[in-house]
Amino acid sequence: MKYVGEAQEAPQGAPQEEIATGERSTRNRVARSILDHGPSTVADLAGRLGLTQAAVRRHLDALAADEVVEAREQKIYGARTRGRPAKVFALTDCGRDAFDQSYDTLAADALRWIAQREGGEEAVIAFARARIAEQAG
């Protein structure tokens, strides 16, 4: 299930209340916030998105059921405080793939653009050799 694009149509069989209340776009905002800011607590998400913590939890539960996000124990550095450790929510590989991250296309377009300019194909070849040498080192 993809959570991208604000104007996305709801899938067949989606509950009417979900369509009418914009649940899908709010879930997209929650997932996008995690993509943009990294693993986040409920409080972090609520503050960034202007939602109540209860609303954020409801959306996180739905995203977790769809295997878009997963809960992890927050790493504590230094003295541990009382109470349960806060959970952070991170995107799963499936959740990350739901967002259009066309880095491969961007890289190929950039190399084509460079090849068509002053440096030509020699510049692209020099770049490739430099990257290989850098990674080998």
- Dihedral, 96, 36, 109, 128 alpha carbons, nearest 10: -90
Contact (CB, 8 A) for 114 and 126 = no
In the chain (137 residues long), the average pLDDT of successive 10-residue segments reads 42 41 78 92 96 96 95 75 79 84 75 83 86 84
Which one, of 105, 87, 94, lies nearest residue 35 by Cα? 94
Could you give all domains of the chain from N- to C-terminal order, each with its CATH number? 16-97 (1.10.10.10), 103-136 (no CATH)
Interacting residues of 67 by C-beta distance below 8 A, sequence separation 6+: 92, 94, 95
> Contact 107/114 with Cβ under 8 angstroms?
no
What pLDDT was estimated at residue 18?
40
The amino acid at 34: I
Q: CA 31 to CA 89: how far, in whole Å?
A: 9
Q: Residue 10: what pLDDT? A: 38
Enter the DSSP assignment of 136: H
